[in-house]
Amino acid sequence: APLGLEKSKELSEHLKTRDYIDAKGKVQDKLRTALKDKTLVLPDAMAGQAAQVGEILRKLAGRLEIKNADERRQVRPRQAVLHSPEFKALWDRIKHKTTYRVQFDNEKLVESCVRAMREAPPIPKARLQWRKADIAIGKAGVEATERETAAPVGLDENDIELPDILTELQDRTQLTRRTIHRVLTDSGRLAEFKRNPQAFIELAGEAINRSKRLAVVDGIKYMRLGEDHYYAQELFEQEELTGYLKNLLDVKKSIHEQVIYDSDTEAQFADQLEKNTAIRVYAKLPGWFTVPTPLGSYNPDWAVLIEISGQEQLYFVVETKSSLFTDELRDKEGAKITCGKAHFKALCVGESPAQYLVAKSVDDLFHRPGATK
C-alpha cells in the first residue's frame, strides 16, 4: 500500500538522519551499500512495508559504483587565481543571495493539468500474472530462481477494489480535493480509473505534478537580499573539496588546481576554457554555491570571465548541457534553469553584470545574441 504524505516525510527525514541521502535528497553510496549488504535500517513503524520500501529505494539508488579510496584526492584552491583581481571582479557579480516570490494563476494551473491529462497515453487494463519460483534461504540471504510464468490474464473491472483517488492524489500533489476533482472531471478520462486504478493514479499524479512544476516557475520573481547576504570568497579555502582521479582534470586558469567533472560535456567544456586565450579565469562552482528554487536548491556549473581584445571584460554564469533543446531537458531540470535565469537577472546591477546562459561549448559564449563580433 502507498505510504501517504506523512509517512513519506517521516521516511525522508529518517534517510537523511542515517546519511542515506544528503540534505538535497541525493542518494549517497551509504544507501547503495546498505541495500547491497542487506543492512538497511528503516523506522520501526514501517517494518511491515520494509520489502516494498527497499524495492523502491533500490530502483532510485541505482547500482553501487565501486570507488577506490586510494584514488580520492583533495582538490586545492590555486591561490594566485583565487586572489586575483579578475576573479574578485567575477565573484562580486555573482556572490549575492536572493529570495523568490511565486505567483501563479490557479485557473491556468487547472487548465494545464486538464490538458496534460488529456494528452497522456491511454491506461491499459489491469492484468494478473502468476509466477512460480524456487526460494533458497542461506547465509548469503534469500535467492529466488524463477521456474514458470503464466500468460497475463485481464481482470474484470467489477472485480477491482477502487482506492480513495482524491486522498491518494492529494498526498501526491498537495492540491486541494476540489481542484483535483475538477481536473479529473474536466479531463474526460475518469472512466479509465476503474480499468486500472493504480496506473491511473500514477499517470494523474505525474501529469498534475509536471504541470505544477512548470506553473510555479512561470513568472517567478527573484529579489536580491541586502548587502550582508552573500557567499564569501573565503569559502573556497574553508570548504573541503574532494574528487576521484578518474573525474579530475589538471587545469591552470581555474581557481582550483583540478576541475571535478561529472560528464563528458563538462570535461570538454573545461578543456575548451583552458585552451581559449580569451578566457581569463573561471571556476567550476562548488556544491555550496546554490540558488534557492521552489523545486529545491540549484547549483549552476561555471563562472567565467572573458576578455575581448584586451579591453572589454564579460562575466558569465554557465550551465553546460549536452542538448540546448528545452524539450530534451527533463522538466524539473528546465524549471531550475528558468529559476537560475531569474536569480542572476535580479543580480544585474552596476557595470557589466554577469550574464546567465545554457551552453554546449565555449563557442556558445561568443555566439550568443548581442555578442561582440
Query: Which one, of 169, 157, 158, lies nearest residue 202 by Cα?
Result: 169
Count Cβ neighbours within 10 Å for each residue of 99-131 and write b for 16 or more, e otherwise: ebeeebeeeebbebbbebbeebeebeebeeeee
Q: How far apart are CA 300 and CA 350, in angstroms?
A: 22
Predicted pLDDT at 373:
42
Given this model, what pLDDT does residue 149 score?
A: 74
Return the C-alpha cell found at 112.
Answer: 494545464
Neighbours of 81 (CB within 10 A): 20
The average confidence (pLDDT) of the chain is: 86
Q: Which residue has the higher pLDDT, 293 or 157?
A: 293
**Position 127, amino acid:** R
pLDDT recorded at residue 28: 81
**Is the distance from CB of 316 to CB of 356 less than 8 angstroms?**
yes
CB 57 within 8 A of CB 35: yes
The grid cell for 49 is 512495508
Indicate the Cα dihedral angle 361, 95, 252, 77, nearest 10°: -140
Residue 327, pLDDT score? 54
pLDDT value of residue 31: 84
The strand pairing partners of 249, in sequence order, are 259
Taking only the tens place, the pLDDT of each residue in 232-267 is 999 999 999 998 888 899 999 999 999 999 888 999
pLDDT at 199: 87
Distance separating alpha carbons of residues 309 and 334, to the nearest angstrom: 34
pLDDT at 219 over 60: yes
Return the percentage of the chain with pLDDT > 90, whole number: 50
Farthest-apart Cα atoms in the chain, separation: 77
| Span 112-133, average pLDDT | 83
Task: Report residue 65 as a C-alpha cell.
Answer: 559504483
Angstrom distance (rounded) from CA 286 to CA 260: 9
Which residues 6+ apart lie within 8 Å of 294 measured at CB? 100, 102, 216, 217, 220, 339
| pLDDT greater than 90 at residue 113 | yes
Most confident of 123-127, 192-196, 300-304: 300-304
Whether pTM exceeds 0.75: no
Decide which of 129 and 227 is more confident: 227
* Mean pLDDT value of segment 177-197: 92
Q: Which of 8-12, 131-135, 358-362 has the highest mean pLDDT?
A: 358-362
What are residue 120's phi and psi, to 5 degrees? -70, 155
pLDDT at 9: 74
User: Are residues 215 and 175 in contact, defined by beta-carbon separation less than 8 angstroms?
Assistant: no
Q: Give residue-wise pLDDT tens across range 305-349.
A: 999 887 789 999 999 987 666 554 567 788 899 999 999 999 998
Phi, psi of 149 (to 5 degrees): -130, 130
- The residue that leads in pLDDT, 125 or 366, is 366
Contact 370, 310 (CB under 8 A): no
Cα separation of 267 and 261, whole Å? 6
Partnered with residue 214 across adjacent β-strands are: none
| Confidence band of 92 (pLDDT split at 50, 70, 90) | very high
Sequence length of the chain is 373
Give Cβ neighbours of residue 255 (< 8 Å, ≥ 6 apart): 77, 78, 81, 82, 87, 236, 281, 282, 283
Are the C-beta atoms of residues 342 and 100 closer than 8 Å to each other? yes
Over residues 176-191, mean pLDDT: 94
User: Residue-wise over 242-268: b if at least 16 C-beta within 10 A, else e?
Assistant: ebeeebbbebebbbbbbbbbeeebbbb
* Residue-wise pLDDT tens digits, 4-23: 666 777 788 788 877 788 76
Residue 281 DSSP class: E
β-pairing, 248-250 with 258-260?
antiparallel
- Is residue 37 very low, low, confident or very high in pLDDT (cuts 50, 70, 90)? confident
SS3 of residue 232 by DSSP: coil
Cell of 339: 529559476
Instruction: Report whether 100 contacts 324 (CB < 8 A).
Output: no
Higher-confidence position of 135 and 95: 95
Query: Of residues 326 and 276, which shows the higher confidence score?
Result: 276
